[in-house]
Every structure is written in structure tokens, then in C-alpha cells.
Structure 1
Amino acid sequence: ECPICQRTLTDRGALTRHLRVHSGDKPYECSMCPAAFAKPHSLSTHRRTHTGEKPHTCHICDASFSQRTPLRRHLLVHAGEKPYACPFCPAAFVDPHTLQMHKRTHTGERPYECRVCRKRFAQSSTLGIHMRTHSADRPFACSACPAAFRDSRTRDNHVRTHTGEKPFGCALCAYRFSQRANLVRHMRTHTGEKSHQCDLCPAAFACKQALLAHRRSHLGEKPLKCNLCPASFAYPQNLHDHEKTHSKRVACPVCDKKFSVGTRVRTHMRTHTGEKPFECSICNKRLARRSNLTRHMR
């Protein structure tokens, strides 16, 4: 039994390692950076952030992890279990740690401080990545191009731009993604979760980027400028649509209606042919446009 916190340990060796938590003793030093740890297992796990080793693999989707605990959390995604609910919004999570990090988006808490510039962060992993901005260290090199990165996760995300790999699959439809963050945003199209609330009106959005774009409608900001004329826009899609008006227009062969690009003509042609290529995976209803399917899935 620990004489300080009364925790019971399995043997004397475990007690010795546990006492370092109280004493602050960290005898196991990383040979690649200044980090030090109280337990050899913690050092072994940490070294994987340098080597990129991910020995724990999901048997369902082949996603891999450097530690067993993140793999266990990941498996709950496939099971659909989210027992930890946010008290501030409808969001729910597979583990209490992720819930705690999410709650900081509501409370604004940033408990992790950079010892160099005093900037604060909500997550320890974000602080770790930030610390490398104070040095020129970029140990994670891409094998396909000269790019190098400060952490293995960013390097792995970048490598997928070369390989086209999309390891993160949606459990509710056929969509797959190269990055976990994109999958998380996509899942909100199924759940209807809109955790990003506008402070100027009742509107809410599934992702932060959509909220920032929406706020321009209140502020009158139009930061996106056309390269061919003085027009400016609040939203990227509006700029994209406008730029097509400068290009050659394509006519529908049935009704002669004109469009700026061929893809718009193909979509329009479905009003003549009745084609509905997008099918709901839940009720099998078919729709002519992907955007209509997305709205229907909500």
C-alpha cells in the first residue's frame, strides 16, 4: 500500500514505480528529445512519437495506433457506443477523456501552458506540437517528396495526399476519408449535431468553418476577391460559381439552357431523364443530387 495516497499495488516493484508519481522522479530519459518519464513503459510509448510506430491495429478498418487505449476507444466508434454526454450540447463521446477535451470548447479552459512563450492550449498534444515551433526540428520526413514535419500525425496525413489512402470509413454510409477530423465532421450529417452556435443569431452549424463563413453575413465581410473583375464574396462557393461566369458556357442539348461548366449540365439533364443516382442507405429512397441526399439523411 502507498503510504501517501493509500493506493494498493500488486508488488513492491509496482509500488516503487508508483511512488515516483509523488516524488516527481523521472529516471527514464528519451534519447531523441528532453522528455523524461517515471516508468519504462511510458518511455517506450513516448518513443513511438519519434519513430512513428503504431503496433495496435483495428481488425475492422485497419486503422493503427501507438497505444492500446486509443485503439479501445476507436473500437467503440464501430460499435456505435457513445456513453459520455456533454452537459452543454447534444454531443456524446466514446470515452471520458474526449468528453473532457470537448467541454473545453464550451468553457474556454486551456490548462496547458508553453514554458517558452506562455501561450496556453486546451490539449496536451496541441502543446507538444506547438513546442516544436520554437525549434527547427522536423524529424518526420515524407518518403515521396522533400516535405518534413514536426509530428508523425501531420506527416501521415500528408503522405495520404500521395497514396490516396482513405482509412477512416463512415459506419453509416460508404464515404471514406483520409483524415479522422473529416470523418468526424461528416458524421454530423447523420446525427444532425450542430455544436457551433452563432453569437449574433440562433443559427448553429456542424463545423467551425461554416460558422465563421456565416458570421460574414452579419459583418458584411467579403474577403474573397475575383481575379478577373472587382467582384468579391463572403463564401468560397459563391466565388467559385462566379468565376465560372467568365468561362465558356455549355448548353443543354434538350432545352438549350446554358451552364458555366459541363458538370452542371449533367446534373440538369436528370430533370429530363429522371435519373436518380444517389440512394439513401437507410430507406432506399433515390435522389437526383448529392446535396439532396445529404439533406434527406439529416
Structure 2
Amino acid sequence: MRIHTGEKPYKFDVCDKSFNVGTCLQSHMRIHTGLKPFQCDFCNKCFTEKGTLRSHLRIHTGEKRYQCDVCSKSFNHVGNLTKHKVIHSRLIKCDVCSKSFTLESQLTAHMWHHTGVQPFKCDKCGMRFAKNSDKLRHDKTHMGQKPYKCDVCGKSFTRQSYLLQHNRSHTGEKPFKCKFCGESFTYPPSLKVHMIKHTGLKPYQCEVCEKEFNRKCDLVRHARTHSEDKPYECEVCNATFIRKDSLDIHVSRHSGEKPYQCNVCRKSFSHKVHLNRHVKIHTVDIPANCDRCRKSFKNNFYLQKHIKIFHK
């Protein structure tokens, strides 16, 4: 009844603030005492309110229970959903493709897709970025700042969101589901790339040759073929490359390391792409028979798997 009458019998002597419920008074008192009795089991951070702890836990669990009824985007806190809903009432449109944005800075970064301009350059390796926030995040890779560590394998990350995504590789969780075929994925970008199989959409177009790509990173790599930008440099001989995987292949020639081994013939390779190309030799459909149990197989690859499981 006090909600309707406005009665607030619980008064705090320090600041004279009044409350209609005793528990609200107790919560308020912690502001003055500094007491934080509710502790997170994941990171040991403490809170004055149990509800605040519950909201915080969603950062670790990845739970996003609050969904926007306009665009279906989900959030872990109702306050974030409230802020998000504002964007549907005040949007800035791109004059080229009509895509909408909430902030002028987002539109500026987006225009790179049409102009190719990436104004933010890393002083260490020369890589360029459309947004300063992306450049600052990249800077941490040079400074070695990776404060978020996986408890399972010890791998560290620059952002907590990257760690949460990585954790799914251990749990097997695949929360992102294709609405067309039901296939599930661990990461949103994987689902986005998969969706192209159904839609055929290639939204990223090269301004120079008009070639289209389904991923932004593919367009970025391709754009370097039209310029002299080769941001990946070999520390041994100073040779430069457009792509990081090209540098990795090159570096292995200096070290002689061949970490990728074929499970069928045990031949080793310096790079995974070379192994994948080699494996196709074993998967050609030439029937193969097992000498021990006379069972037949489609090709030698499946025969070797059979022998490994049943005869070793």
C-alpha cells in the first residue's frame, strides 16, 4: 500500500533519505559504508546489489535476454536495449547505398567501402583502419597487452568479448543458427558467411575493378593488389607481402619447420593450405580393400582411417 500512499517510514540518519521498504534502506546504506557483499565467481568483482551482480554475470555467460522488437538484436541488460532503441528513431543514411547509422562517425567509417579511404595507420606495421577504435585495438597486439586469459588452454586476448567467443571452442557451444537450414555456428561472422550460400549476396565491392566479395576482410586484402601496400614484412630478409598467410608460408622456408602432417602417408608440410591440397590425392575415388578383414572402401583415405581404428 505504501506505493500508492507514498509513505516512506524507513529513514537513513546520515543523509535523511527515506524509503518505503526496509531492504531498500539496507541497500542504500551500503553506498555510505562501501560494503559490497555480492561477489562474482568468475572475476571476483564485488557489488552492493544482488541484481547488479546478476546483470554483471551475463558478461561472462554471454546471456542476452533483452531483445529489440524492431531488429531482433539482443542485449544482456535492459538499459543497453533502451539505449539501442533510440537508433531506430534517429538514423543517418549513406547517400551511396542507403544503409543507416546512428552516429556520424559510423557513417564516416562505412564510407570506406565506397571510397577505399582508411585514414588511421599503425606506426609499427603500417596497417590501415577505417576506424580509430579498430586501430587502437590493433595497437595492443604490438604492446603485448592481452589481459583476458582462457582458464582452459591459457591463450590470452586483448578483449573480453574475444575470450568469451574463444571459450565456445572448448564448450562446443554454437548459439548462432541459420534461419534457412538450421545449421549452427560458434561465431557470428561464420554464420554471416554461411548465409551467403542462401542469398548469394556479395556486399563488398572493389572501387577499382568492381570485383565483389562476401567478406570485408577479403575486400581489404584484394584492395592491396591495386596499391603498393604490403604491410607484412619478413624479419629475416625484409621481403614484404600483401597477406599474412603469404608471409607465414615464406617464413617457414627460412626455418624449415613443417608442422602440418598428413594422417595417411605422414608427409609433412610447412603450411596448412599445402597439406589440404595434398590430402586430395588420398581422397580420389579409387576403391581400396583391407588385407586383414577384406572390407572394401571408397578410396585409400578411408581405408587408412579404418586400419588405424580397427587394426592398430
TM range (shorter): 0.5 to 0.7
Question: Is 2:252 the counterpart of 1:202?
Answer: no
The residue type paired with residue 205 of structure 2 is: G
Partner residue in 1 for 2:118 = 82
Taking a change above 3 Å as real, the CA distance of residues 193 and 124 of structure 1, as seen in their structure-2 partners, is farther
Taking a change above 3 Å as real, the CA distance of residues 218 and 118 of structure 1, as seen in their structure-2 partners, is closer
Q: How many residues align?
A: 216
Mapping 1:38-187, distance limit 5 Å: 39-42=80-83, 60-61=96-97, 70-114=106-150, 119-133=155-169, 135-187=171-223
Taking a change above 3 Å as real, the CA distance of residues 228 and 122 of structure 1, as seen in their structure-2 partners, is closer
Question: Is 2:251 the counterpart of 1:215?
Answer: yes
TM-score, with structure 2 as normaliser:
0.52
Are the equivalent residues in 1 in contact too, given 2:224–2:242 (CA < 8 A)?
yes
The residue type paired with residue 142 of structure 1 is: C
Question: 1:153-211: per-residue Cα shift (whole Å, max 9, x none)?
Answer: 32111111343321111122221111111111112222322222223221222222111
Gaps of 5+ in 2: 1-46, 56-63, 67-73, 285-312
Are the equivalent residues in 2 in contact too, given 1:169–1:183 (CA < 8 A)?
yes
Question: Is 2:35 the counterpart of 1:35?
Answer: no
TM-score, with structure 1 as normaliser:
0.54
- Three-state SS of the structure 2 residue aligned to 1:78 is helix
Are the equivalent residues in 1 in contact too, given 2:149–2:157 (CA < 8 A)?
yes
Are the equivalent residues in 2 in contact too, given 1:225–1:239 (CA < 8 A)?
no
Question: 1:69-97: per-residue Cα shift (whole Å, max 9, x none)?
Answer: 54441124423443322221333322210
Taking a change above 3 Å as real, the CA distance of residues 223 and 161 of structure 1, as seen in their structure-2 partners, is farther
Taking a change above 3 Å as real, the CA distance of residues 200 and 68 of structure 1, as seen in their structure-2 partners, is same
Identity, % of aligned positions: 31
- Three-state SS of the structure 1 residue aligned to 2:111 is helix
Partner residue in 2 for 1:189 = 225
The residue type paired with residue 199 of structure 1 is: E
Partner residue in 2 for 1:275 = none
How far, CA to CA, are the matches of 1:177 and 1:187 in structure 2?
11
Partner residue in 2 for 1:251 = none
Report the more deviating stretch, 36-45 or 137-146: 36-45
Report the more deviating stretch, 88-97 or 61-70: 61-70
How far, CA to CA, are the matches of 2:131 and 2:184 in structure 1?
32
Gaps of 5+ in 1: 1-22, 46-54, 248-298
The Cα shift of 1:213 comes to 0.7
